[in-house]
Amino acid sequence: MINLNGKSAIITGSSRGIGAATAFKLAEFGANIVINHSSENSKDRAEEIAESIKDKFDVEVIVIQADVSEKEEAEKLINESLQKFETIDILVNNAGINRDGLLMRMKPEEWQQVIDVNLTGIFNVCNAVIRPMMKARAGKIINMSSIVGITGNAGQTNYSASKAGIIGFTKSLAQEVASRGITVNAVAPGLISTEMTDEMPEKALNKMKENIPLNRSGDPEEIANTVAFLASDLSSYITGEVIKVTGGLGM
């Protein structure tokens, strides 16, 4: 039985998609939640998610705007969370963007934007959270990678590179902090029905679905279920791992 009662969890990029589903799932199991969003454009949606969680579950929820690609803002996210909840027990690094295109046409800024948010963002947040977690001698860090960080995908050199980097980062950090009771794992989703995949060309989506043994795209809640497991005591002997949730894609 998953029990997160009294735990506090930060989910970056949680105003939509997998992040929002994860926030709901962790709250369902009793965790207090920090909803994070990056800009004023996502403020209303983040507030709606927070209010909906409060209505459904007996937990505390706060909303913090912070662009995790900026070191100072990542530090603000951690500091304000600590002010509210005193400890950070669970960190889900979910914030991510894509700027897809063939490498020969990719602009330097399209490369850099994806690396800054997807990879440097995780460094910034973990760099800020690791000291209080080490002091508490406990913590669960779950980083959102992707199946394309393992297999690659044409038209996503920037995105695939960032997600592959997350895997190396996860394994290295797991080794650094294991002696302090902190586990660090990654989840690698496959094709999940979110606003991000809705922006993909239909031809590319259909081609990916043809390669999925379960013959369908996944639901954000199916990723959230795996995150909840990794955030709980049920995963106490798992660290430095990458769990694929893909319907068999890339097996």
What is the helix (H) or strand (E) element at residue 140, kind and residue range?
Answer: strand 139-144
Residue 137, phi-psi category: left (phi > 0), alpha (psi -120 to 50), beta (remainder) = left
Bridge partners (DSSP) of residue 189 are 245
* Cα 103 to Cα 161: distance, rounded to the nearest angstrom: 12
By residue count, the chain amounts to: 251
Residue among 87, 22, 15 at smallest CA distance from 229: 22
Catalytic entry in 74, 159, 173, 185: 159
Whether 159 is catalytic is: yes
Q: How far apart are CA 94 and CA 20, in angstroms?
A: 10
Residue with tokens 């799932």: 25
Rounded to whole angstroms, how far apart are CA atoms 126 and 143?
Answer: 10
For residue 40, the SS3 value is: helix
Residues marked as catalytic? 159
